[in-house]
Structure 1
Amino acid sequence: MRRLLVIGNWKLNGNKSTITNLIIRLVEECANISKCNMAVAPPVMYLDLVMRYLINSNIWLCAQNVDIHISGAFTGDVSAVMLQDLNTRYVLIGHSERRIHHKENDAYIAKKFFILKKIGLIPILCIGENKREYDAGHTQSVCLNQIQSVIRLLGVEAFKDSVIAYEPIWAIGSGMSASPESVQIIHELIRNYIANYNVSIANEVLIQYGGSVTPENVTQFFNQKDIDGVLVGSASLNADSFSIIVRAAENHEKSYYA
């Protein structure tokens, strides 16, 4: 059965001192969490530092990006094998900030999905529409096209033991989240779309929500049938805020599904 998953995406924030203090606090605050899964995604510079504090903890390590190559003359890139060597479990791919600032398209992101599955890491495929697409009523087609790019390359079986994170671009970092009810509509659409190919995989795939998630609104998202967790941005940089979100997942009845 599906189990709530909470991931903190720290993006390009922090330094050695602040990140050390943050991860020490989180390990302490989340020591008794057992009914939901959680992970943190530090900047690549600090993956090894954070990994050392996560040993023997119940928090998993997540990377913010991966290259499509295993090794070679690709200056500045990070391979899935390197991430695996640091006990990374999850890897974000397709985040809107990568799509916008690094011009990553659906086909390229699908290749990242492929390499992660090949190595045995869990991809978190970020999908979502921008404000223009949202206003034009294209949310559903945009999201399904982004999923279809993976199915086209790898088949729907690739979504077994994988995660999809729906993040409407207009809500990320804006302080304005989508309504839980509208998010549920998109999550149900995604699950039904995958079910057209394979019902079993559709029932198992985790579909997170991301976009201005806070301690104040997170329970409303957990209350929706097809929302299986949250991808948290700025609130994950504060140990108190992130711990509250994790405890909300821990105490929610969905946590007993696992």
Structure 2
Amino acid sequence: MFVINCKNYEEISGEKIVKFVKTAEKISKKFKVKIAIAPPQHLIGVVANSSIQILAQHIDDSKIGSTTGFIIPELLKNSKVSGSLINHSEHRISSKEIKKLVLKLKELKMISIVCVKDVAEAKKYAKLEPDYIAIEPPELIGSGKAVSKEKPELITKAAMAVKSANNKTKLLCGAGIVSGEDVSKASELGSKGILVASGIVKAKNWDKIMTEFAKSMV
């Protein structure tokens, strides 16, 4: 699983998100790698009909109807969105909310990716059986220093923690991944995929960097 979080980077603002997603579609098809993209929330509708999975960057524990300004998973599903990140380090939420949202996405048969900062959180939230646990040490996010090189033991321990909790949830590795070598190393350590952001979005040549990452995954 190759997840790209676009955050609110200017590089994919406006119509540029369409080109970005089309590039990912081409790479996904060419290398037979599952790619999912989480665009800025206001651009989800622009690319929701993509042939690859589109994710929300965040969802709210709120109800359908008279709730203003909340991101509602039921409505996202109706717009062909596949799932969502939950508890990203830049948008942390409470344990109670995480539990409710994982259960909600399960009910809706949507993908849940719970972001965690350490092994303890990985073990705790893997018990909820989300589809993925993404481990990202906050201090390495956007640093260009990959967790697979800086803290390789973190991936190994997190993979073991997730596996001990259940056999369904898969581990994704995030934070500082900027090269195919980083991707390969993460896989060797037990990661079943990656969660990346600036390493892809801010690259000058999207086709080249996505190709490098995809090749490293296969």
TM-score relative to the length of structure 2 = 0.84
- Distance apart, 1:245 and its partner CA: 5.0
Counterpart code for 1:23: V
2:73 matches 1:80: yes
For residues 1-258 of structure 1, the aligned pairs below 5 Å read 5-13=1-9, 14-34=12-32, 36-52=33-49, 54=50, 57=51, 59-99=52-92, 104-128=93-117, 142-145=118-121, 147-148=123-124, 151=127, 154=128, 158-159=129-130, 162-180=131-149, 182-183=151-152, 185-198=153-166, 201=167, 204-215=168-179, 217-238=181-202, 242-244=206-208, 246-248=210-212, 250-252=214-216, 255=218
- Contact kept, 8 Å, 2:20 with 2:206, in 1: the verdict is no
**RMSD between aligned residues:** 2.6
Aligned pair count reads: 216
Unaligned runs of 5+ in 1: 129-141
- 1:156-201 per-residue CA deviation (whole Å, 9 max, x = no partner) reads xx24xx0010000000112223243733x22332333344444xx1
Structure exhibiting the larger radius of gyration computed from Cα positions: 1
- Ranges in structure 2 where 5+ consecutive residues have no aligned partner: none
**Amino acid paired to 1:44:** Q
* Partner Cα distance (2:96, 2:185) in 1: 30
Provide Cα deviations, 1:6-32, integer angstroms capped at 9, x if missing partner.
Answer: 111001123222222322333344431
Whether the 8 Å CA contact 1:26–1:239 is kept in 2: the answer is no
CA contact (8 A) 1:215 1:244 kept: no
Q: Can you list the C-alpha shifts for 1:51-72, whole angstroms capped at 9, x where unaligned?
A: 23x1xx3x21111011113413
Q: Structure 1 61/117 Cα, relative in aligned 2: closer, same or farther at 3 Å?
A: same
Check the 8 A contact 2:55/2:84 in 1, yes or no. yes
| Structure 1: distance between partners of 2:97 and 2:161 | 22
Q: How far 1:230 sits from its partner (Å)?
A: 1.1
Q: Return the TM-score normalized by structure 1.
A: 0.73
* Partners of 1:196 and 1:216 in 2: CA distance: 29
Q: Which has the higher helix share?
A: 1
| 1:236–1:86 distance in 2 versus 1, CA, 3 Å | farther
